[in-house]
Structure 1
Amino acid sequence: MSEKIYVGVDVGGTTVKLGICNSDGTLLQTYEGPTEVSKGPDTILHNIAKYVKLIVEESSYEWSQVGGVGIGIAGFLDIPNGIMKNSPNLNLNNIDIKGFLEKELNTIIKVNNDANVAALGEAWAGAGRGIANCVMYTLGTGVGGGIIIDGKIVEGFQSVAGELGHMAIVPDLEAIQCGCGKMGCLETVSSATGIIRMAKEAVARGDRTSLVEVEDIMAKDVLDAAKAGDEVATRIVNRAAYYLGRSMSMMSVILNPEYYIIGGGVAKAGDFLFNQINEVFEKYTQEASKDGVKIVPAVLGNNAGVVGAAGLILRG
């Protein structure tokens, strides 16, 4: 019997990324094509189908070897039925992604949230390979998340489990309104956006910081300034790390994962950030819930989405 392969599709606002994986999660081939959001839902869906056919045609594999196609996409999904209820960035509303692609491709189709898919990718073939229980945080523009328990994605009643960035963790007196409309979300302090906001506020207040010399402050500027000993930048990074560590402490007594995997641009700060998160986690976590638990960096980078999407067929 010929080897089965699995196609993963990571649908972004600008680009659709695809990958072919084997049953071990090894990424064998990649492909990218434009999403073409401006042309509407029909074009987006037809592009996905076209790119899936192309990546297989350009590979050394036959279509008969395809065991299924997994789709990772941002938005509010009816995951079991593969229906996109609302995706503001892609302008997809009440679109039956699964049904359309099953007809176009005549194979198994599974659809899931992009953050869940990235977490599955890291759990299946990345930093969490061989680990059955892990939680992933993605620190970028927002704070994304995904929960893997017993090797499976935890989706929840309304398919919104794992929205770690929207844990209301910042106390009322310190809280600001999040983009979701609620107050005190983790995302407001631990995302790149939150770090930049706190830095700009410090500069506007007239705090003594080297960041006043930076024309357009980015999260990396704040992290670099903190590493160099800037007190204001250090305070900002400490705050971001503190609430990440506290949130992990809370997750540990609920889920007791073995690994916390951290990805995204902010995570590139490396040990400087990870050491602080670990200190907070150790301080606040109940002994049995932290025994043997590790906080580790993601390793798949931009490929986590396509690998995890392919993994939906075997582990979704």
Structure 2
Amino acid sequence: MGKEKKLYIGIDLGGTSVKVGLCDEQGSLLAVYEGPTEAEKRAEGVMQNIELYVRELVTREGCAWEQIAGVGAGIPGFLDISAGLVKASPNLGWKDVPVKEILEARLGKEVRIDNDANAAALGEVWSGAAAGIANVVCYTLGTGVGGGIVVKNTLCQGFNGMGGEIGHLNVVPAAEAIICGCGQKGCLETVSSATGIIYMAKEAVIRGEQTSLAHIREISAKDVLDEAKAGDRVALRIVDRAADYLGKSMALLSVVVNPQRFVVGGGVAKAGSFLLERIEGYFREYSLENAKANVDIVPAILGNNAGVVGAAGLHIFG
């Protein structure tokens, strides 16, 4: 690898594992290294692990340490981005951890941090499904609903890091709303995440509705989507409801940030066109003509590597 080439390190920090990626200036992922988080070692122990993984990756790839132009980290939880502080991360058991300060001291490189969902969105914008597009909204449909908003090639973080928290858009009417993990009622996450889909399926079974889902011991979101594809009426209704509120949320965002493209990723999105076509149908139904003209909805393409690519990209799009 050319010793004059600038390289960037991206860190995707999870509760059980840490993925570290090496990217070039074009956002190409050159190599990855993954190791255990070991959250029980507390923040200092986790930071030590991250340093070891970063240095191992750089050494293994034969890079000069001087080539590393910056390090970025995508972290689950609530952050004070400008201060480089993790205010609270339930997945890691952290509170008020100065990640930027600790990692800069360990690595001797400038460190930038952001929410893990923002980092994943940035990965898709840098070299994924929205490469070359300046105005993008990304959804990650997993256990929750994560999101990231990029306007004029700049990540929308907001004044205290809460920008892009799409999963907590209040879109469900009060009469239908349940309490979200955030403590509020009516959040998109309660109906359009894997957790929300499973909840709706279990409720239908408890009510005694006639559905093939009643024969599944531990219902997963994939089960619901598979049964919907097979034509189960109840499963179809659940998937349709999830798609309805996703489309409605996109319609709301279309008149706030007016993106050219919506990118949808995460485990639930693996249902592919079966889900995306429904989401797009509702988006077009609810949207103003000028806000939906020439706007498309596409699947994410970076998969589990979006987070490390986007974290490295914090130095490009910051």
TM-score tier after normalising by the smaller chain length: over 0.9
3-state DSSP of counterpart to 1:262: strand
Return the match for 1:193 from 170, 186, 195. 195
CA deviation map 1:23-44 (0-9, x unaligned):
0000001101111001111101
User: Are 2:14 and 1:16 equivalent residues in the alignment?
Assistant: no
Note the C-alpha offset of 1:273.
0.6
1:123 aligns with 2:136: no
Out of 227, 234, 237, the position equivalent to 1:235 is 237
Match of 2:185 in 1: 183
1:75 Cα deviation from its structure 2 partner: 1.1
Instruction: Indicate whether 1:69 and 2:71 are aligned.
Output: yes
TM-score, normalised via structure 2 length? 0.98
2:225 maps to: 223
2:214 partner amino acid: V
Q: 1:238 & 1:88 partners in 2: Cα distance? A: 31
Q: How does 1:154-165 map to 2 (within 5 A)?
A: 154-165=156-167
Structure 2 distance, partners of 1:218, 1:152, is 36
Task: Tell me how far 1:215 sits from its aligned partner.
Answer: 1.0
Aligned partner of 2:43: which letter? P
**Residue in 2 that maps onto 1:153:** 155
Structure 2 SS opposite 1:245: helix
2:55 equivalent among 47, 53, 56: 53
Residues 22-61 of structure 1 correspond to what in structure 2 (within 5 A)? Answer: 22-61=24-63
Greater alpha carbon shift after TM alignment, 59-68 vs 300-309: 59-68
User: Unaligned regions of 5+ residues in structure 2, if any?
Assistant: none
Offset, 1:103? 1.2
Larger CA deviation: 243-252 vs 55-64: 55-64
Give the aligned partner of residue 103 of structure 2.
101
202, 214, 223: which is aligned to 1:212? 214
Query: What's the counterpart of residue 274 of structure 1?
Result: 276
Determine the structure 2 residue equivalent to 1:307: 309
Cα offset, 1:107, TM superposition: 1.1
Runs of 4+ with >6 A deviation: none
| Aligned counterpart for 1:245 among listed residues 241, 244, 247 | 247
Deviations 1:223-273 (A, max 9, x none): 111111110000000000000000000000010001100001110111111
- Paired residues in the alignment total 316
Q: What SS does the aligned partner of 1:200 have?
A: helix
2:81 to 79, 82, 88: 79
Residue among 143, 148, 160 paired with 1:141? 143
Aligned match for 2:92, one of 79, 86, 90 = 90
Greater shift, 241-250 or 81-90, is seen at: 81-90
Report the residue type matching 1:201 in the other structure.
E
Cα RMSD of the aligned pairs, angstroms, is 0.8
SS at match of 1:40: helix
Task: Please tell me the residue identity of whatever aligns with 2:181.
Answer: G
Q: CA deviation at 1:60?
A: 2.3
User: Hey, what's the Cα distance between the residues in 2 that align with 1:107 and 1:286?
Assistant: 46
Structure 2 counterpart SS, 1:178: coil
Q: Residue type of the partner of 1:22?
A: D
Distance 1:11 1:22 in 2: 20
- Asked if 1:258 is matched to 2:260, the reply is yes
- Separation (CA, whole Å) in 1 of partners of 2:19 and 2:317: 20
CA distance in 1, matches of 2:214, 2:161: 43
SS for the counterpart of 1:197 is helix
Q: Deviations over 1:276-307 (max 9, x none)?
A: 11111111110111111010000000000000
**Structure 1 unaligned regions, length at least 5:** none
Instruction: Name the amino acid aligned to 2:125.
Output: A
Q: Post-superposition shift, 1:193?
A: 0.5
Residue 150 of structure 1 and its aligned partner are, at CA, apart by 1.0
